[in-house]
Amino acid sequence: MIHRSTFALDDATSKRIRSLAALWQVSQAEVRKANYEAHH
């Protein structure tokens, strides 16, 4: 791992990440990574 970050998410965003992780059967980190890659 090259970079680490700390951030705070509102409740709705946090719930959405958990929901997508369950739907896609991946970790919450993978959901955040997919979102980052889609927007950069």
At residue 7, the pLDDT reads: 84
In angstroms, the CA 22 to CA 24 distance is 6
CA 1 to chain centre: 16
- SS3 of residue 2 by DSSP: coil
pLDDT digits (tens, 9 = 90+) for 5-31: 888 999 999 999 999 999 999 999 999
At residue 1, the pLDDT reads: 64
CA dihedral 15, 18, 23, 24 (to 10 degrees): 140
Region 1-7 average pLDDT: 80
Q: How confident is the model at residue 32 (pLDDT cuts 50, 70, 90)?
A: very high
Q: Give the tokens for residue 16.
A: 């959405």
Q: pTM, whole model, 2 decimals? A: 0.78
